[in-house]
Structure 1
Amino acid sequence: MPDHVHLFISFPPTVSPTYVFAVLKAKTAGALFRNFPWLRKHFRKGHFWSPGKFYCSVGNVTYDVIQNYIRYSQGSWKTNFSNLPSYYQQRKLPAFVA
């Protein structure tokens, strides 16, 4: 589905999931708006992410199970990004990491 993100992260039990979501949403939205200024036209109030969230503890399954779920559960959704300039084309997340 093109309207959500899966993250598989680890953080200490002393940190609340709500705090982790707040930091992730703030930092990623800021980076996206800085690197892709045209997004501000579509998100005029500066809210890139929806207010909702879902998290689940995965202590009872292995890393491989989670990784395979994320990799293979996406199905095939069709979105045409070909009319965008090449610098706005869809990229994999590692392309943004220096």
Structure 2
Amino acid sequence: MKEDRFSHIVLAPLKSWAAMLLLLVVTAIYAQTPYLPAKLVVNVVLAMGQIALVATFLMQLRTSRMLVRLAALAGLIWASFLFLFTFADFLTR
């Protein structure tokens, strides 16, 4: 009975790890293919899948309180601004 109660502590990270490993293998295989028109889109979708796995399962945002989710969203918005301004600076030089 105890094993069933605590199995999610071990199984959830293992499942997340296996899914991340699968996405890594798919990304590595897809990176070796010649240029395709949708290559950028597929790579971004794979990266977003990895981000979603980390956020929902490893960071446990799915079961956390709303304030923690709000802080994670604020961090995501802040990081997107940093990338946006860095890219804008790069394009103007």
What's the TM-score bracket when you normalise by the shorter of the two chains?
0.3 to 0.5
User: Normalized against structure 1, the TM-score is what?
Assistant: 0.34
Richer in helix (by share): 2
